[in-house]
Amino acid sequence: MFPNTLDTFVSSVRHGKEMMIIHRVTGGYLTHNGDLQIETDPVENIDNKRHLWVVQLDGYYKNNAVYTFQNKREDKYLSVNPDNIRDGMRFTDRVDPKDPDAAKKANAQRFLVLPVCSNGGYALVPVLGTAYALMPMGNRAEPGCDRPLPHWGGQSSDNSSHDFTRAPNQPEREDPTDRDITGSVGAQAPGGGSH
């Protein structure tokens, strides 16, 4: 059993742990394969880390946390095309603060991670286009390109839903805050709990 999606996401942000991003409707995983792809090939066949991501907290936008997604294949960052939000996704280097277009390029790498209320999961919403969310090209629930498309709720929201999980071949968590409470669940702690 994999840790739950929020646990995996937080572990990536806090401890730099690698994770996979799963498209909830197709069951495929996001990869750096040309542009951003939803793939359903066996994960065991991947040997170049194109399916592994690390998330970084990058600031706040209108009181919402903003994140960047670093793909481990070439240590590039997921990015929209700032001149055309609906274009295919790009993989770009970390932005140099001295670049004259630094703000524009940095914003192209920033995403909100918002819960999808209809059936669960999380939408990856570009800061430069908050009416858009990553979903399969053409808004069809099938493997292929994952890119920003407008969403209006219902089926469209389901298609923008993603989960976060550890790769199946990753070792068990070994961070210092890890505490498995499986054996104590259901046991009454002294002075704790309600009656």
Q: Tell which residue, 89, 91, 14, 19, has the closest CA to residue 57.
A: 14
DSSP secondary structure letters along 105-143: HHHHT-EEEEE-TTTS-EEEEETT-TTEEEEEGGG-SSS
Q: What is the pLDDT of residue 65?
A: 94
Instruction: For residue 1, give Cα distances in angstroms to 22, 41, 118, 189.
Output: 15, 20, 24, 26
Residue entry with tokens 């407008």: 150
Whether 194 shows a pLDDT value over 50: the answer reads: no
Q: What is the pTM of this model?
A: 0.83
Q: Where are the domains of the chain?
A: 5-184
pLDDT tens digit sequence for 101-117 = 999 999 999 999 998 87
Q: Dump pLDDT digits (tens) for 120-152.
A: 889 999 999 999 999 998 777 778 899 999 876
**Sequence-separated (6 or more) residues with CB below 8 Å from residue 93:** 76, 77
Fold type of domain 5-184:
Trefoil (Acidic Fibroblast Growth Factor, subunit A) (2.80.10)
